[in-house]
Every structure is written in structure tokens, then in C-alpha cells.
Amino acid sequence: MSAQYDAIADRYRRTRASPLRRWVEIPSLLRLAGPVDGLRVLDLACGDGFYSRQLAAAGAAEVVGVDVSPAMLALAREASPPAGGPIDYILADAAELPDLGRFDLVLAAYLLHYAPDTGTLARMCGHVYRSLVDGGRLVAMSENPAQPSEPPGGYAEYGFSKHCERPLVDGSRIRYQMLAGRDVFAFDVHWFSLETYERCLRDAGFDRLRWSPPAVDPAGLALHGEAYFRRYLEYPPVLTLECRR
């Protein structure tokens, strides 16, 4: 599973400057994560450690970042750690997660849709559940089952395209092409129906699931205008998910 991000680690990191990531994805996830003062946080699919650093800087007592890609983890380890609790980075597959102890919050920003099949998705959900204390929360961002491919007009103005293979069945491959400037690259994720996501989460033990479309930060709206974000918000390619153990 590590190969795709080993090849695109640095190019992926540069997408963080895009208005969508800055004004939609990042504020949506951090708002949902809420205050993390004194919490133990597990950042699954931590990539270059962006959210691990954000959460440590926001007061988390301890952050453990896990990723399957050595190249992404190398970027995470190179980055200057913020003042705050310690961050530990661990190379592991979230579908085969070793026991890392219990956490108050698990963040899974773009993880679940890397499961290539339902069995792997179920294992990931099981590991997340087992990693949480009672009352702990999973905060995730994952593929929107209602938007397997891009809408008419596409997402090119946001710097990417998205196409899902047919027939549409659990595990169908979705190809993302990132189109920004000279940094054209592609990666694949997988589609699952809402029912399949929810069955895997409930079978793992979660019973309170809340899906929401991402929202734009008011400062981003003021800067880029409502029209810029309109199509993205009308056809969100991803959703946030919050589950409590």
C-alpha cells in the first residue's frame, strides 16, 4: 500500500497551499476535532505530519502519527516539531495496526478510502475502535459515496479531476489527477457505499455516526468569494465523519 505515496510525497505536500485545502479541508477537520488540550491523539494516515503538528501545537498531550509510506514519514520527521506535546511517528498499515495503546481522539484524514476492499475497510474500522478509550472519537475525512466521479463541469478549477471505474461496486477504483501547475500527478482511492461504510463502522462497535459536507471558513469566503466554492459545496467529493465510541 505504500508505493503510491512514496512516489508523490513531495508533490502531494505542495497541494496544501490550494485554496480548497486551506479554506475547506483543514478548517473543517480541525473544527470537528475540537479542543484537544491534554488529549492523546492518534493521527492515522498522517502523511507528512501536518495534522499531527497542528494537534500538538493546539495542546494535545501526545500525538502518534502512523503512515504506511516511508517517504511521507520522512517528510513528517524532517518538519520542525511545534512547541507542545511529543509527536511519535510510526510506519504501519492502518489495516494491520499494532496495539499502540488507547487514544482520546483518532484522526483519519483521507484514510478509509485507501482500503481496496470491504474486508480491509472493516479491519481499519476495527483497529480505530480498539484504539479509542470509551467516549473517544474518530474524526475522519473520506470519499463522498454520492459523488464517485466529478459533476458536470468538473473540479478542474480546484486543481483536480476525479473519475470512478464502472460498474460502481464496493472497492471500485477512483482515480484522482492533481492538475496544479507543473505538479501533475495521480493517485487512486476506492469507492464504498454509505451502507458499507456504516456497516463496517457499526460492526467495529461504533453506534453514533455523523456525516457532514465540508464547510468553507469565513475568511476563505471573504477572500475568494462564494461563487468560487459553489460547485465544490454543491457536489462535495469528500465528507467528514465523526463517530464516538
- Contact set with ligand SAM (CB under 6 A): 1, 5, 45-47, 50-51, 66-69, 72, 93-95, 109-111, 114
- Which three three-digit cell numbers place residue 163? 473519475
Separation between Cα atoms, residue 242 and residue 212, nearest integer Å: 9
Cβ-based nearer residue to ligand SAM, 109 or 122 = 109
In the chain, the DSSP E strands lie at 40-44, 62-67, 87-91, 103-109, 132-143, 160-164, 173-178, 185-190, 208-212, 238-244
Residue nearest ligand SAM, CB atom distance: 47
- Minimum distance from residue 230 beta carbon to ligand SAM (Å): 24
Q: How far is the CB of 226 from ligand SAM (least distance, A)?
A: 25
Nearer to ligand SAM by C-beta: 11 or 152? 11
44 in helix, strand or coil? strand
* Least distance to ligand SAM, CB of residue 94, Å: 4
Is the alpha carbon torsion for 98, 100, 103, 105 positive or negative? negative
Q: Supply the minimum distance, in Å, between the C-beta of residue 153 and ligand SAM.
A: 24
1 or 133: CB nearest ligand SAM? 1
| 10 vs 226, beta carbon nearer ligand SAM | 10
Q: Which is nearer to ligand SAM, 92 or 221 (CB)?
A: 92
Residues in the chain: 245
Q: Smaller CB distance to ligand SAM: residue 5 or 206?
A: 5
Helix (H) or strand (E) holding 78: helix 70-78
Contact 140, 108 (CB under 8 A): yes
Q: How far is the CB of 70 from ligand SAM (least distance, A)?
A: 9
Minimum distance, C-beta of residue 179 to ligand SAM, in the bound complex (Å): 16
Strands across the sheet containing 160-164? 160-164, 173-178, 185-190
CB atoms within 10 A of CB 6: 13
φ, ψ at 148 (rounded to 5°)? -65, -30
